[in-house]
Chains A and B, each alone.
Chain A
Amino acid sequence: MDFSASFALVIPELILTVAGLALLLVAAWGGDKLVRPVAILAAAALFAAGIMTVPGLHSGVDGVGTYAFGTLMKVDSFALFSKALLYLAAIGALMVAPAFFNSVAAGAERGLRAEYPVLILFACLGMSIMVSASDFMTLYLGLELNSLAAYVLASILRQDQRSAEAGLKYFVLGALASGILLYGMSLLYGFTGGTDFVAVRAGLAGELSTGQLFGLTFVLAGLAFKIAAVPFHMWTPDVYEGAPTPVTLFFATAPKVAAVALTARVVFEVFGGQVDAWRQIVMFIALASIIFGALGAIGQDNLKRLLAYSSINNIGFILLGLAVALPAGASAMLIYLFIYVAMSLGSFAALLMLRGDDGGLYETFGDIAGLAVTRPAIAWCLLILMFSLAGIPPLLGFYSKFVVFQATVEAGLVFFAAIAIAASVIGAFYYIKFVKVMFFDEPAGVVAGKSGTAHWVLLGLTTLIVSPLGYLLTPSLADLTDKAAAALFLVP
C-alpha cells in the first residue's frame, strides 16, 4: 500500500486533525483568553483545507486513483465538492459566533469559549471523513466523530436549560439513529460478507434476500435520521430552537451537506445495482418531507422553529434529485445543496442580527413586525432570502428547484414532480408570511441594537449570491457538480 499517495489524498483531513489537536492544547492551557486567535486559526485551517480541494475540483478527479488506504476512503470530485461546501459553511458558523456569545443572549455564560472553534473543527473532520467514506467502517467513524462534537456544541451553554435540553435530545435520538444504522450495516455485512462499498455492492447483486432488504432499509432509516427527513425529523425543531443560534446555523448547513452527500454515496455506490429497492423509499421520504415540512411550519411563531421546518422541507427537494438515480439528478442535488447552504447561512445570520438595545435576541414573528421601517437593510435582505427559499424567480432559490425538477421530469417521474411542485406552494405560504410581517404590519420597534460587521458580511454575501446576480455563478457551478456527479456514478 502506497501510504504517501494516500496521505496526499487526505491533506484536508490532515490539516484539520493537526489544527484541531494543536488548538485543543492551546485552548486547554491558554483558556478563554485566547479564544480570538483560536477562532481565527480554526477558520484559517478550514480555509486552508478548502483551498486543498480546489485543484481536484477544478480538474475533476474520479476512478481508481482516488482510493486512499486501500478502499477505506475515496477522495473523488464528489467528496471534494461536499468538503469545500461544508468548510465554507463552518467558516460562516465561526464568523457569527463571537457577537452572539459575547451578548446577553448567551445568558449566564457570556463570552465565547475556546472549545467552540475546536469542536467545529472536529465536527468538520468527521464530516470530511463521512463524505469520502467508501467503507462502512470509515463511514461510521466519521459520522460519530461529527455527531459527538455536535452533541457538545448543542449544549455548549451549560447554564441554559434550553441548550442543555437540545443537547440531550440530540444525543439520545442521535444515538438511536446510530444504533439503527449500525444494525443495518451489520445485517449487510452478515449477508454480503464485506464492509467496503465495492464488496457489499457485489454481494447485493441479483435478487435481494429478506435480510439484505432489511439491512438496506435500516441503513436508509439511520441516514434519514441524520439528514432530518420525514418521518425521522421529530428532533429537528426542538434541537434547532434550543441550541444557541450560531450552533443552529451550523447544524442547518454543514452536517446537512455531509449527511446528504453520504446518503447519496451509499445509495449509488452500495445500492447502485438495486435502484428499484431504494427508490420507493427515497421518493416517499422526499414527498413526505416536502409536505410535512411545509405544513409543520405554518403554525410556528418562533422563527428558529420555522426555519427548522423549512430545512426539512428543503431536504425533501434535495432528495428529489436523489430519487432520480441518474447523474443529472445527483448534479441537481449538489446545486440545490450549494444554494440551500447560502440561503440558510443568510437567514440565520439575519436572525442573529435581530437584537434589542441590550443585545438580547428576538426570535418570534411579533418581534420582527414592521422591520422594513425600522431596519430596512435587514428586512430587504430577509425578503430576498425568503422569496428565494420559496423558490420564486428570479432569485437563485428558483434555480435550485429548477434543476431538481428538470432532472426529475427528464427521468420520466412527471407525476411525482407534479405532486412535489404543487406541495411547494404550501411552503410559499409561510415564507411570504415572513415578508408580510416585516413589510405590511405596524412596526414593533423592538429590534434596535447594532449588528456586528461579521454578520453584515455574511448576510450581504449570501444575499448577493441568492440575488439574480447569482445566475452568473451557475455555469461554473454546473460544471463542478457535473464532474462530482460523474465521479459518483463511476462504479469500478
Chain B
Amino acid sequence: MDFPILTTMMLVPLVGAVLCLFAGSAARMIALVATLATFALGVLLWANYEIGGPQWQFTERYDFVAGFSYALGIDGIALMLIMLSVFLMPICILASWDAISKRVGEFMSAFLFMEVLMIGTFAAQDIFLFYIMFEAGLIPMYLIIGVWGGDNRIYASYKFFLYTLLGSVLMLVAMFWMVAEAGTSDIPTLMQYPFPEGAQTWLWLAFFASFAVKVPMWPFHTWLPDAHVQAPTAGSVILAGVLLKLGGYGFIRFSLPMFPDASADFAWFVFILSMVAVIYTSLVALVQADMKKLIAYSSVAHMAIVTVGLFAFNVQGLEGAVIVMLSHGLVSGALFLCVGVIYDRLHTREIERYGGLSVNMPYYAIFFLLFTMASIGLPGTSGFVGEFLSLAGIYQTSSLVALICTTGIILGAAYMLYLYRRVAFGQQNNSDAAAMKDITAREWAMMAPIAAVVLWMGVYPESFLAPMRADIAALDARIAVAAPDSDADLAAGLPRAEAANAVEYAGGGDH
C-alpha cells in the first residue's frame, strides 16, 4: 500500500498535540477529534491488513537520520496492540473531560504525544527508533503523574521516571552491541540473526532489565502501585492499558526471537518470578483499602500470566499471552475508569467509603460487574480466552507452574469479588455515597464500547487471533528448537487407531 498510513496515524495526534498546547479549554474537543480520527485510521489499518499476507505490512522507510532509519511496519501482533492503543485513547480523553480542570491544554497535549509514541513503539522496524519511542514516553507520563496526580505525586513521578530509565539504558548498550555484531539495525533481520550463545545470556539480561520493569515483574513492580494511585484516572488507564504491554511486546519482539537459547535458559527464572508474583501480589491485593492500589496489584498478577505464557515456548502459550495482554488492557483500563467514575463524585478511593452502590447506581453496577468478571476470567469474557490459552500452554511445559498460576486465578476471583461486594453490595452505610447519581451519557460512551469489545473477544476471539496466527507460528518455529526443560509428564500413551478429531498429519510442531 502506497499511502503511508502509519505515519499519518502518528501525524494526526502530533498535530493535535501542538494545537492543544495553544488552545486553552477548546483543547478537549481538539483532542477528542484527533483521537477519534486516529481510531478511524486504525480501523482502516485493520480492514486493509491482509491476513496470511506478507509478515510485515504497511512498511515505510526513510533515511533522514544518521545512524538509524525511520522505518515503520507492522505484523499481526503489532496491529492488535496498536488497535488497543487507539481504541483506549478517545476513552481516556472522555474520562478526563470534567476531571481535569487545570491546564487542560497541556494535559491533552501530553496525552496526544503519548499516543504518537505508543503507535511509534509498536510500529518501529528499526531497533533504535523503537528505543526512542519506547523511552520518550517517560516525558509525557512524568508530566501527567507529576502535574495532575494526587497528593504524593512528586514521589511517584520520580520513582516512575528513574526506575524505568535505569531499566532501559542497559538495553541500549545491548542494542549497540547487537547492531555492531549483526551490521544492521533492522528489526526483522535481527529477529533471524543467530547471536552467539554466550553473548545471548548478557543481551537477554540487559533486555530483561528494561522489560521486567515495564511489565512489571515481581520484584521490579514497586513503582506501579505508586504511579497508578497518584496518576489521574486517564493516566492510570493508559498506564495499565498500554504502557505495561510494552514490556510484553518487548519480550515477543526482542527477547524470544533474538535470543531463543538464552530465553530457554532463563525460562525457569521467569517462571519462578511469575509464580511468586501471581501468589504474592494477589494476596497483597486482598488486603488493600485503596481501590486503585488493589487493581494495580491485580495488574502485576495478570502480567505474570502473560510472562509464563510467553516463556512456555509453544503456540498456545504465546497466543494466550497476547490475548491476556489485550484483554488486560481493556479490562484493567475499564476498572480504572469505574474507579474514576465514583472518584469524580466522592473524591476518595477508599473502599470503606462506598457500599451498596447497586441500589442507587444500577447501570454502573452492571458495568462494574462485567469488568470484574472479565478480570476474574469468566467464560464468555475476554479474560477467559487469554488465561485459558496461557495456562494450557504452560501446562505442556510445566504442570507445577500451571498449578500455581491457576491458584492465582482463584485468588484473583477472591479479591475481585471481595472488592465488588464491598463497593456495590451490602448496606448503604455512607449517605453521601448512597446519594450519588448513576452514570451520565459521557460515562456510558466510555464504558459501553469497552464492554462490547470484552464480550466480542470472549465470544469470538478468532477475530483477534487470526491476524497474528502466522506471526505466532513463525515465532514458535524460531524458538521451538530451544524449548526449556519440561517437568510436565506428558506420557505419550498408546496411540489410538483413529483420533476423535483425526486430521491428516501436516508435519512440524512436536514438543
Contact = CB atoms under 8 A, between A and B. Distances in A.
29 contacts: A392-B135, A392-B136, A392-B138, A392-B165, A393-B135, A393-B136, A394-B133, A394-B136, A398-B135, A402-B67, A402-B172, A406-B67, A406-B179, A408-B176, A409-B176, A409-B177, A422-B169, A422-B170, A428-B161, A429-B158, A429-B162, A432-B162, A439-B147, A440-B153, A440-B157, A471-B65, A474-B67, A477-B66, A479-B66
B67 A424 contact: no
B139 interface: yes
A355 to B, nearest CB: 24
Given A393-B131, A428-B165, A429-B162, A410 B180 contact: yes
Contacts of B177: 409, 414
A225 interface: no
A436 B172 contact: no
Given A432-B158, A440-B147, A440-B153, A425 B139 contact: no
Contact of B173 (A418, A425, A475): A418
A452 to B, nearest CB: 23
A439 B165 CA distance: 20
Q: Among the interface residues A387, A402, A424, A479, which one has the most CB atoms of the partner chain B within 10 A?
A: A402
Interface string B141-169: 01100110000011001100110011001
A365 to B, nearest CB: 14
B154 to A, nearest CB: 6
Nearest to B134: A393
Contact of B169 (A373, A424, A432, A471): A424
A474 B64 CA distance: 8
A387 B139 contact: yes
A422 B166 contact: yes
Given A417-B173, A474-B66, 14 more contacts: A373-B103, A380-B21, A392-B165, A398-B132, A406-B176, A409-B177, A417-B176, A421-B170, A422-B170, A432-B142, A432-B162, A474-B67, A475-B63, A475-B65
A414 B67 contact: no
Interface in A339-372: 372
Interface in A392-432: 392-394, 398-399, 402-403, 405-406, 408-410, 414, 417-418, 421-422, 424-425, 428-429, 432
Q: Among the interface residues B143, B157, B172, which one has the most CB atoms of the partner chain A within 10 A?
A: B172
A432 B135 CA distance: 15
Given A403-B67, A405-B176, A471-B65, A425 B146 contact: no
A263 B226 CA distance: 47
B251 interface: no
A440 B146 contact: yes
Given A425-B162, A432-B142, A440-B147, A409 B67 contact: no
Interface secondary structure of A, over-half rule: helix
B128 interface: yes
A108 interface: no
Q: Among the interface residues B143, B165, B169, which one has the most CB atoms of the partner chain A within 10 A?
A: B169
Contacts of A424: 169
B173 A405 contact: yes
A478 interface: yes
Contacts of B157: 436, 440
Given A432-B158, A474-B65, A475-B64, A439 B169 contact: no
Contact of A409 (B128, B136, B180): B180
A8 interface: no
Contacts of B103: 372-373
A35 B179 CA distance: 54
Q: Among the interface residues A405, A409, A478, which one has the most CB atoms of the partner chain B within 10 A?
A: A409
A475 B386 CA distance: 46
B64 A418 contact: no
B165 A425 contact: yes
B139 to A, nearest CB: 6
Given A405-B176, A440-B153, A418 B147 contact: no
Contact of A421 (B146, B154, B172): B172
A414 B166 CA distance: 17
Given A387-B139, A472-B64, A402 B128 contact: yes
A422 B166 CA distance: 7
A323 interface: no
Nearest to B64: A472
Contacts of B179: 406
A211 B62 CA distance: 54
B279 to A, nearest CB: 31
Contacts of B165: 392, 425, 428
Nearest to A428: B165
Contacts of B131: 393
Contacts of A418: 170, 173
Contacts of A408: 176
A324 to B, nearest CB: 12
A372 B109 CA distance: 14
Contacts of A465: none
A409 B173 contact: yes
A428 to B, nearest CB: 6
B212 to A, nearest CB: 16
Given A398-B132, A405-B176, A439-B143, A428 B67 contact: no
Closest 3 CB pairs of A and B: A478-B66, A409-B176, A393-B132
A440 B154 CA distance: 8
A436 B154 contact: yes
B289 to A, nearest CB: 26
A470 to B, nearest CB: 10
A404 B38 CA distance: 37
